[in-house]
Chains A and B, each alone.
Chain A
């Protein structure tokens, strides 16, 4: 329906310009991963690429182990978050009461304690519970950390769905689960997709608890990266390579599910 016009070109140019500017640091980090250490801090755009850094990184650490841990912990905690958040958000969005708002705000306030202040009590708790250096321990912590965000975002997206449609489905005789599956989920898909993505990323990149509560067995990729950030000596190329490897599983996952992701994120207006 739209004619490709000058306006479209202008938007395109603007869009790509902003994307380029925002992406530039990551682009620079990516090409640094293929440079030698000596060339890493020189501003050359063109150079002879080498896989030395990647080879070194793979030789030094058990990358697969870290990646597997990250996947388990991030996806596990996100799943748990959703299991807890969706019912709560459903209740609060469609059957709100006077206490709903204060409950939401209270949930968010649980995140106000800075981790540095509560590290030692939690560490001692985990030690007593035998949860140190365990995947389930980290899943538990991440679920608790991300639950408020998950509930808030899901609640927001549920709010944008007109209640009348759900009521209509109910009047038509739809049971609770078919209401969820056939009416609510498709309409909330963009919101749920972006919430899932953000929650996974938040867990993936969380560096404070993962560094302090794990040692040999449950360490995720953030610990892997920590062995490359500011060691004594030059490390830019290796750090860039390690960072790329740390982001790689998510990118692969995103690429494999891109159809659902893109359709989820760019789903057209609801009607």
Chain B
């Protein structure tokens, strides 16, 4: 039974392995087993070839702009990144960013999904409005937030604050991380909402009626029926968003350029800043490999946490 996926589905229904041994039912033919092969092969190729090249380059001195300097660099590229004073702040920033955006998008996404599950006037139109932020290009979103909304002199928030008699907040100067988290949460909330909303659609109407007959109120229903049903969808949202948020780059580049200081430098931006920006393939590749290693560590713990929380309650 898959800890990540299987609990809900297989609890009351016979699993495929069980049916396979039931009389009169065919074993899954071999070609059905091979169904996932094309995907796996394609991804294997995609992962291996660029990965191998990246590992190879990470051990070289290879700067595009300086063709005279070539040769084996050993661990020098890695050390250059590892010893950079911005390296550990970058890791910390990456984790803070991911954690905050996950909490906000999954939390708000769940609440919104439950809200929109109810019928109200013009619900379909409102749903489209909620999904809309996902349609806009990240660079444009970041620019709109930075200049039209958050700018402390001519932005809309500054205007609103001024009307209320408060001093405008210098978002990108004094709380750049918070500003970035707001922008990213706004961009990713539709994604979380959509997946959770769709998943809610498969909640048995029978279960709903049974709960109502039992006299459960909304809060009990929410915590004992809705949330467990959404657990799988939530874990998918968490995993996918984590993967995307690990390498967030465009929004940081557009708004703060990693600053002030290193307040908003995440790992991807550090790799860009130290490697790609000076066209040093060696350093950029080493940074890529370091990011993969760290991401795998993070994913390892993440799976542990998710599997643990899913096992309980059934």
Contacts and interface: CB of A to CB of B under 8 A. Distances in A.
Interface of A: 2, 8-9, 11-12, 14-16, 18-20, 22-23, 25-26, 28-29, 32, 41-43, 84-85, 87-96, 100-101, 103-105, 107-122, 124-125, 143-144, 147-149, 151-153, 155-157, 159-160, 162-164, 167, 170-171, 176, 190-191, 193-194, 197-198, 201, 205, 207-208, 222, 225-226, 229-230, 236, 239-240, 243, 246-247, 250-251, 262, 265-271
Interface in B170-184: none
Contact of A207 (B57, B138, B194, B199): B138
Contact of B4 (A18, A101, A119, A170): A101
Nearest to B15: A163
Contact of B5 (A32, A101, A230): A101
Contact of A15 (B26, B32, B115): B115
Residue of B16, B28, B124, B254 most packed against chain A (CB within 10 A) = B16
Given A43-B159, A117-B275, A28 B148 contact: yes
B13 interface: yes
B129 to A, nearest CB: 4
A22 B132 contact: yes
Interface residues of B, number: 112
Contact of B14 (A2, A91, A113, A164): A164
Contacts of B28: 95
B26 A205 contact: no
Contacts of A159: 5-6, 8-9, 232
B130 A236 contact: no
A149 B144 CA distance: 28
Interface of B: 2-6, 8-9, 13-16, 19, 24-26, 28, 32-33, 35-36, 38-40, 42-43, 46-47, 49-51, 53-54, 57, 64, 112, 115-116, 118-124, 126-127, 129-130, 132-141, 143-145, 147-149, 154, 156, 159, 186, 189-191, 194-195, 197-199, 201-206, 232-233, 236, 239-240, 243-244, 246-247, 249-250, 254, 267-268, 271-272, 275-276, 281, 284-285, 287-289, 291-292, 295-296, 299, 303
A135 B29 CA distance: 37
Contacts of B148: 25, 28-29, 32, 41, 236
A18 B112 contact: yes
Interface SS of chain A: helix, strand, loop or mixed?
helix
B272 A116 contact: yes
Contacts of A117: 54, 268, 271, 275, 284-285, 287-289, 291
Residue of B43, B244, B281 most packed against chain A (CB within 10 A) = B43
